[in-house]
Amino acid sequence: MEASVTLHDVGHTFDPARQDFLFRHVTVDLHPRHVYALVGPSGSGKSTLLSIIAGWVTPTEGEVRRDRCGRVGWIMQNPHGVARRAAVDHVALPFIARGESRQDATAHAMKLIDVFGLRKVAAKPFRDLSGGEAQRLMLARGVASHAGLLLVDEPTAQLDLRTAVTVNERLRALSLSGAIVVVATHDRNTREACTDVIDLRDFQDADAAADSAAPAGAMQDSAADYVVGAAVGDGERNGDRR
């Protein structure tokens, strides 16, 4: 029997009076080898729903059932690694932690390095990777972790549009290990790179939906502005790898 996550009539609010819900009546089944895009306006509760799916937050309403999911992995917006450690070492470490020899772990890591288009930088220290390379490395490490449930929070939010393309092109590879993958995103290109879509606008009360609705055509523009507005040029990222 394969892993699954089932959300039944899930709703959540931070309002003590339980008047203002982020979303309500979310009922979906999540299955392995799918990459689900979790989309919706800013403030619609995407990160909150990721935490509910992970089991880290209890929903105000409804229930979540996780069957045979095993470990939960979370890939954050900002890639973090060991500054002087080679890229391939970051991917090999999960294999070593499961008892593989260094040689076998490195061989398995290199296969994932290839899948995510990183062979040319495999020996580079983490601090010398570009923004897109670092994010793809985190995706490769996510697959290496063998998490049954892999949650990805805004993988292209800190990248310029050109660099984001290199990440989006490889999102479906996240399901190679048979994981259930959910990706929260504002980026319409990331959405299109996934196999399925969960749109939180479909699960908002009428008043909340009206408050968060953008004018015609503005949703697409705001998604692009979000990526561009936070953009750091490929190779010009700073802070977390020094």
91 and 66 together in one domain: no
Model pLDDT, residue 76: 87
Predicted TM-score (pTM) of the model is: 0.80
Report yes or no on 96 lying in a domain. Answer: yes
Q: Residue 55 in contact with residue 69, Cβ under 8 Å?
A: no
**Contact 148/3 with Cβ under 8 angstroms?**
yes
Last residue of a domain, one of 146, 172, 190: 146
Residue that wins the pLDDT comparison between 12 and 215 = 12
* CA 197 to chain CA mean position, Å: 13
φ and ψ at residue 205, rounded to 5 degrees: -60, 155
Task: Give yes or no: residues 28 and 12 share one domain.
Answer: yes
**115 domain-assigned:** yes
> Is residue 7 located within the same domain as residue 54?
yes
Stretch 168-175: mean pLDDT:
87
Query: Is 216 domain-assigned?
Result: no
Domain contains 119: yes
Domain-located, residue 228: no
Residue 59 and residue 2 in one domain: yes
Please indicate, yes or no, whether residues 67 and 89 belong to a single structural domain of this protein.
no
Q: Which DSSP letter does residue 125 get?
A: B
Residues 163 and 186 placed together within one structural domain of the fold: yes
CA separation for the pair 53, 233 (Å, rounded): 33
Whether 197 has a pLDDT exceeding 90, the answer reads yes
Residue 2 shares a structural domain with residue 107 = no
Same domain, 98 and 59: no
Domain for residue 46, yes or no? yes
Q: CA 242 to CA 228: how far, in whole Å? A: 24
Task: Please tell me whether residues 32 and 87 are part of one structural domain.
Answer: no
What CATH number does the domain containing 152 carry? 3.40.50.300
Both tokens assigned to 227? 């990526």
Digit-coded pLDDT (tens) for 23-67: 999 999 999 999 999 999 988 999 999 999 999 999 999 999 999
Q: Which two tokens stand for residue 226?
A: 């979000």
Work out the percent of the chain whose per-residue pLDDT is above 70. 85
* Euclidean distance between CA atoms 213 and 228, whole angstroms: 21
Number of domains in the chain: 2
Asked if residue 242 belongs to a domain, the reply is no
> Do 128 and 17 share a domain, yes or no?
no
Domain limits for position 110 = 81-146
Q: Do 52 and 90 belong to one domain?
A: no
Domain boundary among 130, 146, 162: 146
Is the domain of 66 the same as that of 152?
yes
